[in-house]
Amino acid sequence: MDNRFQNMLNPSSDEARQYEEFLETFGNDEFIIIGMTGKPILEEASLDVMLEALEALEGVPFVRMVSGIPTVYRDRFGAEDPEALADEILSTPFFHGLFINEAEDTAGLLLDTEELAKPGDREILVDGIQEALQPLRDYGFSVYVAGAPVFNVALNRLSMKESFRIFPIAATLSLIALFAALRSFRAIAAVVLCGVLTLLYTFSLVGLAGKPLNVVTSMLPIILWVLAIANFIHLVCRYQYYRIDVRDAREALNFALRDVRRACVISAVTTAFGFVSLTLADIGPVAELGYLMSAGLLISLAVNLLLGPNLLLLLNVPAPRGKPVKRDHLFEALGTEALRRRGTIFVGFGMLALAGVYGASQVRTESNSLNFMPEDSETVVSYEYILNNLTGTGALEIVISTPGGWLNDSYWEPILGLKARLSELRVVPRVMSPYDFLKKVHQWDEDLDPEYYRMPDSTDHAQELLDMLEPEDKSELDRLVTANGELVRVTVMVSSMEDRDFLRVTEVAHEEITKLPEPLSAYTTGIGLRLQKMQVRMVSTQIKTFSLAFILVFICIFMGLGSFRAMLVSVLPNLVPILTVFMSMYLMDVALDAATVMVASIALGIAVDDSVHLLTAIHQEFKNGTEVGAAIVGGVVKVGASISITTTAAAIGFFTLATSSFVPVAYFGLLSSIAMITALIADFLLVPALYSIGRLIRS
């Protein structure tokens, strides 16, 4: 499982290349903030426990540097004289907004990390940190841990846990629904075997490709299971139907294959095209799901049509108990009423479509990734405490080019002006730059006199101050300025997870960058900025993927059925579920995010499955010379049971996703279920009504 933020972003964009240059220059920009409260933070006993935790933290794999009050206490005061330490910490703003809060009741530690190249590196790091912090908890501190690696590990574990928890529930409930409809253990066994083999072959490909799962692709087992068995159920239902009157199982199977083979191929291909459209997404996991599901659906088609028929014969699947007379009468009545009440149907679905169009215009993007997790989770609680009481957990990085070196005193005023302007923003508790360190060195040189926490008198004075430092002290500058001094890093800590707040900080930064005099120049970067831009592109991703899905799906219907009329008839019944999804998102205040951005494209691909089977059945009646009205009703009767069963099983499978603790997945499951149920209703009512309009026009 790998949910690194970097994997969600387009690796080939200009922003990505600029970000890679930043990482090569300054190293990893992932950091961890630790907040501790509940005990007097500057008392000797508390400091001793902090020192114990500090020593343990410095031994954790992938921790490059630990900064904070205990570091100062050990390195500057020899772990003695807490009173002098308190004067140092509280006398200047150097430590505030990062290592101590305004109320002076919360201390912070900043952990810089080494490159975390492998998915498992973050788990080793986070687990080591939690173990190292245990002395603080034992002493009585409340400890909060936040940062990108922490969020990533929590996301990994939550998505893995939810995948293992939900899939058995979804599979069991869908099978119960199938048994109620098929009334045969042997039929269920055939369905299960086809579904399991589809999953096995697909995940073998995933393993061979060396692709880890993520929070989006972890939904693959449930989605593929539901769609794979849905496709095969059409064949099983038709086979059982013929077994009622045909003794020979092979003959019944041939009749069933004649009826559904074409529709199964078209529906599998159209659904695959719905997922193919996701490969255009700028969000990496969404594109990966598109590739994997497309491959899985084609594997499913091969399994269902090559192995499935042989399983039906091998298991000697019988007809269901009792003839389905009442069920046929039900679907006959439904088709007849749809023809008679087409005016009411058009008005009802027209109003629903208008509501959906309005809902689509009001859809928003999710701006706070904390909303992805349960409010009471340890990760969310830690983030909220640190954001509200200490500092930011995300950062905007500004890289400033300083030709000739950053110690040039003519550069100080404009760069410090940029820093001061950003510090005025409500959501910016701290802006870090090498100039803060330079001020502190100046103060150290004057016996820690707070009055000297200011810039040196000149370039030469600044160089003298740095020359007197020990190599280990100078090393703190490595993450803030390049060795030649011509690139400076300014890190803007942002104490909000809301997209609009980060956007405001970015806008102000760009305004200030344009004010820098020549030869100074700068650009913004960082993982936070890249994620914020991804959110901005979320709506365009929705439009792009859905547009491609729309074109591919209906072209496939036209080519598969060889009928322009069938393609036109299929458009409205399959647009209504999508519009219903948007209306539902608006009513439930569901935002577009990495999961829900897929709903429209996937819902279109899934919803069209039932339409294809119904349209195929109706056109078979047309080819047999049946009158239009009777052909429509006959088509509804022929496939009404199978599309009802598949929709029920699929909707139940998707609905189990709604129980997920991972909020985007829960909404994805709920919205997909709504789309499938709406699609079934639209097929039963709108398809006959639309065909009846064609009959009226011809007459």
Residue by residue, DSSP assigns 66-110 as EEEHHHHHHHHHTT--HHHHHHHHHHSTTSBTTTB-TTS-EEEEE
Kindly state the DSSP code that residue 450 receives in the 8-state scheme.
G
Asked whether 283 and 6 are in contact (CB, 8 A), the reply is no
Burial of residue 397 (CB within 10 Å: 0-12, 13-18, 19+) is buried
Which residue's structure tokens are 């819902």?
603
Pairing of strands 394-401, 31-37: unpaired
Alpha carbon 575 to chain centroid, angstroms:
25
Kindly state the DSSP code that residue 322 receives in the 8-state scheme.
S
Res 212: pLDDT: 78
Measured CA to CA, the distance from residue 274 to residue 527 in angstroms comes to 30
Q: Name 305's bridge partners.
A: none
Helices (H), 520-627: 527-536, 538-561, 564-587, 599-623
Tokens of 42: 């500057």
Terminal C-alpha separation, the chain: 61
Long-range contacts (CB closer than 8 Å, 24 or more residues apart) made by 180-185: 181/237, 181/641, 181/644, 181/645, 181/648, 182/233, 182/236, 182/237, 182/240, 182/320, 182/645, 183/320, 183/321, 184/240, 184/317, 184/318, 184/320
Measured CA to CA, the distance from residue 572 to residue 650 in angstroms comes to 21
Q: pLDDT tens, 580-626?
A: 988 988 888 887 766 676 777 777 767 777 888 888 888 888 888 88
H or E segment and range at residue 659: none
Measured CA to CA, the distance from residue 214 to residue 78 in angstroms comes to 46
Measured CA to CA, the distance from residue 152 to residue 175 in angstroms comes to 34
Asked whether 425 and 504 are in contact (CB, 8 A), the reply is yes
What predicted TM-score, i.e. pTM, was given to this entire model? 0.79
Res 97: pLDDT: 86
Give backbone dihedrals phi and psi of 422, rounded to 5 degrees, phi first. Answer: -70, -35
SS (H, E, C) 550-577: HHHHHHHHHHHHCCHHHHHHHHHHHHHH
With vertex at residue 545, the alpha carbon angle to CA 541 and CA 546, rounded to the nearest 5 degrees, is 115
Helix (H, G, I), strand (E, B) or coil at 618: helix
The domain ranges of the chain are 1-169, 184-318+328-366+542-698, 403-519
Domain at 184-318+328-366+542-698, CATH class: mainly alpha
Give CA separation, 96 vs 268, 432, 445, in Å: 60, 11, 21
Measured CA to CA, the distance from residue 470 to residue 485 in angstroms comes to 18
User: What sign for the dihedral angle of Cα 188, 190, 193, 197?
Assistant: negative
Asked whether 39 and 138 are in contact (CB, 8 A), the reply is no
Measured CA to CA, the distance from residue 617 to residue 639 in angstroms comes to 7
Tokens of 462: 């600044």
Q: pLDDT tens, 36-49?
A: 999 999 999 999 99
Res 257: pLDDT: 92
Res 8: pLDDT: 66
SS (H, E, C) 261-303: HHHHHHHHHHHHHHHHHHHHCCCHHHHHHHHHHHHHHHHHHHH
Res 42: pLDDT: 93
Which of 387, 407, 405 is CA-nearest to residue 395?
A: 387
Residues of the chain with pLDDT under 70: 3, 5-12, 321-327, 365-367, 535-542, 593-595, 597, 605, 694-699
Measured CA to CA, the distance from residue 257 to residue 627 in angstroms comes to 24
**Amino acid type, 477:** L
Measured CA to CA, the distance from residue 650 to residue 641 in angstroms comes to 14
Q: Quick count: other Cβ atoms within 10 Å of Cβ 83?
A: 10
Q: Quick count: other Cβ atoms within 10 Å of Cβ 454?
A: 12
Tokens of 475: 């090393």
With vertex at residue 366, the alpha carbon angle to CA 535 and CA 285, rounded to the nearest 5 degrees, is 60
Measured CA to CA, the distance from residue 653 to residue 225 in angstroms comes to 9
Q: What is the DSSP string of 334-390?
A: HHHHHHHTHHHHHHHHHHHHHHHHHHHHT--B---GGGGS-TTSHHHHHHHHHHHHT
Helix (H, G, I), strand (E, B) or coil at 40: coil
Which residue's structure tokens are 């897929």?
598
